[in-house]
Amino acid sequence: MRITEYYNNKIHGLKKQLIETYLFILVIFHIFSIYIYLFWLKNTFPIYYFAAALLFYIYSYVLIRRNFDISRVVNAYLHFSSLHISVIILNFIDDSLVGFIWLIPMPVCAYVFLKRKTVVYFMFYTVFLMIFIMIYSKYFNHHFYEYDKKYLRPTNAATLLANVSLICLFIFYKLKISRLEDKAFEYNIKSRLRNRYQFRSGSSLKENENAYSLPNKNKNELIIDYQKLESLFLELDKYIKNNNYFTNPSIKVSSLCSDLKTNVNYLSRAVDHKGYKNFNQYINSLRIMYVKNLLETSDLSKVTLMYIYTGAGFTSQATFNRVFKQFEGTTPSEYITNLLHNKSGLAPDR
């Protein structure tokens, strides 16, 4: 899988997880509201109102679980939910303006899931609804029920707490998504710079040409010193080979970073700079080279294949077979057969 696809999948997974959690909370809230109106307040009229909203949220949840387009679901939700909330605000506006805070998460939600133009639209849409509610409230005289105002203060406190929590939830996920977006952007820029560097590597480069920068309106300049990456990879390669570190099936990148006094991100850049997809691919390449060397120098009538691949750091034959074929284009058994034929001076059977 390409690195960019990996980051896109991670971002999609976070968005899906957030909207599923949010819709699940709304479903629980509306079920609880129906229970209160039905068994406590003995007022059946609002039940139809909450039940319709409940069905919409459940349907949206099902669409998300079936991998329906998240942006379309969120767009529909924001329009429906804002109107739904507006009716609730109208029922309590005579005694409190705190209900308006229910509209604040709307543009925040759009900021997480939708494009910038759509976020601006929902900001204006939210302001329009607030103004409309303030004007229309003068002519609105229907309420769900007559409530005791002594419950107003704890209700307002709960409303503030709930909406602040929702906003914090959206911001938390937005920060996680932004970090992944930055990593994906950095990888794309790094790939473009590496291709440019490799294209020019045939000519003699001055020392100051080892670093490239690419300006972007929305990002800080990303400067990668390929000379340092090259030096770090050579140090890594020497350290691993001299200590046969790749033969350790429990090899940890964090331990290597500690020994080489670097960090995981920079070490990954160095490995990627040398053309490997990731650190595991680099380690597997060393293990396959080690296996091939053992096959060529060992007496295959006295050693088993299991002894060879476990000595190289593979924990199972299935993994070894798969990795070996990826690198050599043939299975280990076919490779050994050809090797034995070559040693005996015979051409392999076709």
Mean pLDDT computed over 69-98? 81
Torsion 270-275-281-286 (CA) sign: negative
Q: Is the pLDDT at 157 greater than 80, yes or no?
A: no
Residue-wise pLDDT tens digits, 88-125: 788 777 767 777 888 888 889 888 888 888 889 999 99
Residue-wise pLDDT tens digits, 251-280: 888 888 888 888 887 788 888 877 788 888
Closest by Cα among 156, 165, 233, 192 to 22: 165
Mean pLDDT computed over 282-311? 86
CATH level 2 (architecture), domain 277-350: Orthogonal Bundle (1.10)
CB 145 within 8 A of CB 210: no
Residue-wise pLDDT tens digits, 214-249: 344 333 333 445 677 788 888 888 888 888 888 888
Q: Note the pTM of the prediction, 2 decimals.
A: 0.50
Domains in the chain: boundaries: 3-180, 277-350
Q: Is the pLDDT at 299 greater than 90, yes or no?
A: no
Q: Is the pLDDT at 342 greater than 60, yes or no?
A: yes
HSE of 196 in the Cβ direction (CA atoms, 13 Å)? 14
Mean pLDDT computed over 201-221? 39
Residues with Cβ within 8 Å of residue 189, at least 6 apart in sequence: 214, 216, 222
Closest by Cα among 128, 148, 112, 157 to 19: 112
pLDDT value, residue 288? 92
Place of tokens 């034995």: 340
Residue-wise pLDDT tens digits, 13-36: 888 888 888 888 878 877 887 777
* Share of residues in the chain with pLDDT > 70 (%): 77
Mean pLDDT computed over 59-68? 81
Mean pLDDT of the chain: 77
Q: Residue 229 burial by CB count (10 A; 0-12/13-18/19+): exposed, middle or buried? A: buried
